[in-house]
Amino acid sequence: MKKRLVFLTGYSYKYLFRPLLFLTDSESIHNFFIRFGQALGNEYSGGIFKFFFCHPQKELEQQLFGINFRNPVGLAAGFDYGASLMWVLPGLNFGFETIGTITNMPYEGNPKPRLGRLVKTRSLMVNKGFKNEGIKKIVEKLKGQNFVFPVGISIGKTNSAKLRTQGAAVEDIVSAFEVVEKEKLDIGFYELNISCPNLYGKIEFYEPEHLSGLLQAVFALKPSKPVFIKMPISKDNEEIIKMMDVIVKYPVKAVILGNLQKDRNNSSFVREELEKFPAGSFSGLPTRARSNELIKLIYKRYGQKIKIIGCGGIFCGKDAYDKIRAGASLVQLITGLIFEGPQLASQINYELEDLLKKDGFDNITQAIGANVN
Ligand X SMILES: Cc1cc2nc3c(=O)[nH]c(=O)nc-3n(C[C@H](O)[C@H](O)[C@H](O)COP(=O)(O)O)c2cc1C
The residue ranges that bind ligand X (CB under 6 A) are 76-78, 100-101, 115, 124, 126, 128, 130, 154, 193, 196, 230, 259-260, 283-284, 287, 311-314, 333-336
Closest CB to ligand X among 59 and 187? 187
Residue type, position 372, single letter: V
Least distance to ligand X from the beta carbon of 321, Å?
15
Alpha-carbon dihedral 345, 349, 352, 357, rounded to 10 degrees: -170
Residue nearest to ligand X (CB): 78
Least distance to ligand X from the beta carbon of 338, Å?
8
Cβ 216 vs Cβ 251: under 8 Å: no
Least distance to ligand X from the beta carbon of 100, Å?
6
Closest CB to ligand X among 59 and 218? 218
Those residues with Cβ within 8 angstroms of residue 147's Cβ, 6 or more apart along the chain or in another chain: 86, 186, 187, 188
Least distance to ligand X from the beta carbon of 233, Å?
8
Least distance to ligand X from the beta carbon of 311, Å?
5
Least distance to ligand X from the beta carbon of 128, Å?
6
Closest CB to ligand X among 46 and 312? 312
Closest CB to ligand X among 41 and 197? 197
Say how many CA atoms lie within 13 Å of 303 toward its Cβ: 19
Closest CB to ligand X among 64 and 320? 320
Closest CB to ligand X among 59 and 193? 193
